[in-house]
Amino acid sequence: MARKEHVSETPATQWLKANKVPFTEHPYEYLEHGGAQHSAEVLGMDPFSVVKTLIMQDQDAKPLVVLMHGNRKVSTKNLSRQIGAKSVEPCKPEVANRHSGYLVGGTSPFGTRREMPVYVEESILSLPRIAINGGRRGYLVGIDRQVCVTLLGAKPVNCALAE
């Protein structure tokens, strides 16, 4: 069971509260480049249900958000084909930070600085609950996976590669 440690508000938790989304808080010790695999391990969660928030861009440098299983990579070729882009690539960290308003490693799809289209790996939508970044490094929130579709308008895609 997660410790009941309150983490100060983030734009993401403010957004969740404003949209009346119930969530659980899961703070953990952040590890540089540890990623979703690390957070899943220290929190005793399945990395498949820990969702990472990736800020990417298309050939015109238009940003987009991809929600992916913590233990999978994004096939940018498959993603670009499915969303009708010529190409898609991850943003450089400083560009991702500018678009999202969050530091890489603490990026949440909720309460981003810019409105961006959101894509979610389809198999995430079959999970009962997911853990996703709460807007700070070392902080996940547990939510119902449908929030991604109902409130973020996330479009399902199939672009996962085994990590």
Domain boundaries of the chain, sorted by first residue: 24-162
| Cα angle for residues 56, 159, 96 (degrees, 5° grid) | 10
β-pair type (139-144, 24-27): antiparallel
Following DSSP, what letter does each residue of 84-127 receive, concatenated?
T-S-EEEPPHHHHHHHHSS-TTS--SSS-SS---EEEEGGGGGS
Tokens of 113: 């600085």
The whole-angstrom distance between residue 69's C-alpha and the CA centroid of its chain comes to 9
Handedness of CA 85, 130, 2, 16 (dihedral sign): positive
Low-confidence ranges of the chain (pLDDT < 70): 1-7, 163
Question: What residues pair up with 65 in beta bridges, in sequence order?
Answer: 55, 118
Please state which of the four CATH numbers 3.90.960.10, 3.40.50.2300, 3.30.750.24, 3.90.1010.10 is assigned to the domain occupying 24-162: 3.90.960.10
Q: What is the pLDDT of residue 8?
A: 80
The pLDDT of residue 2 is 43
